[in-house]
Chains A and B, each alone.
Chain A
Amino acid sequence: GQNIDQPTEMTATEGAIVQINCTYQTSGFNGLFWYQQHAGEAPTFLSYNVLDGLEEKGRFSSFLSRSKGYSYLLLKELQMKDSASYLCAVGLYNFNKFYFGSGTKLNVKP
């Protein structure tokens, strides 16, 4: 089976930096994705890592270590609108299958 673990909930302050971790144990790994999901809405794509290292996209960065089965999403200069769930997902078998973690609910406080 596939195991993808992330913390259930985190709280951070507006303007701060927060790191959301994701660990995985899978077979056929091709890449790791991060999605943002606001309550009651569909997830939207944030970032993608296929090679080890850091990918930066504005206020959001994502890191991958394939040897450790570990990724994190880094959110800088937090804004209230960043309050959402963040889903870690692994792409397997030439991206024919995607499995999601349970998501981390991020609460941003003033």
Chain B
Amino acid sequence: SQTIHQWPATLVQPVGSPLSLECTVEGTSNPNLYWYRQAAGRGLQLLFYSVGIGQISSEVPQNLSASRPQDRQFILSSKKLLLSDSGFYLCAWETGAAYGYTFGSGTRLTVV
């Protein structure tokens, strides 16, 4: 079966600390993968998307970066977190034109 895993579920990090969020998919090959951020009470902002290994497109200049070291692995990183990086981070996998996205369960990041 096709599934998407995202971890951790919650994270509290001090300002200036590094970040690494991981997302993996199972049951498919060469998926389109995405990272979104949702600020409290707001919509989803597209951060990065990837159509293949090593291929990353950034939507918004920011304090974050993404990498895709393996076909089914997508990583979101930061070297030094800012308070404004707090939010709900969602990994998504495009499961086909008729179905849009399947989302991971999300990571709630609080930078303190």
Task: Report the number of A-B residue pairs with Cβ-Cβ less than 8 Å.
Answer: 61
- Are A42 and B106 touching (Cβ within 8 A)? yes
- Are A45 and B100 touching (Cβ within 8 A)? yes
- Are B43 and A42 touching (Cβ within 8 A)? no
Contact of B104 among A33, A42, A96, A98 (CB under 8 A): A42
- Are A31 and B97 touching (Cβ within 8 A)? yes
| Stretch of A13-21, A74-82, A100-108 at the chain-chain interface | A100-108
- The number of chain A residues with a CB under 8 A from chain B is 24
Query: Which B-chain residue is minimally distant from A103 (CB atoms)?
Result: B43
Q: Shortest Cβ distance from A64 into chain B, in angstroms?
A: 14
In the assembled complex, B12 has its CB within 8 A of some CB on chain A: no
In the assembled complex, B74 has its CB within 8 A of some CB on chain A: no
Residues of A close to B78: CB separation below 8 A: none
Q: Shortest Cβ distance from A103 into chain B, in angstroms?
A: 5
- Are A98 and B46 touching (Cβ within 8 A)? yes
Query: Which B-chain residue is minimally distant from A88 (CB atoms)?
Result: B43
Query: Which A-chain residue is minimally distant from B43 (CB atoms)?
Result: A102
Q: Shortest Cβ distance from A106 into chain B, in angstroms?
A: 14
A87-B44, A96-B51, A97-B46 as given contacts; A30 in contact with B97, CB under 8 Å: yes
Please report which residues of chain B, range 71-112, place their CB below 8 angstroms from some CB of chain A when the two chains form the complex.
Answer: 90, 92, 94, 97-106, 108
- State the B residues within 8 Å of A (CB): 32, 34, 36, 42-46, 49, 51, 90, 92, 94, 97-106, 108
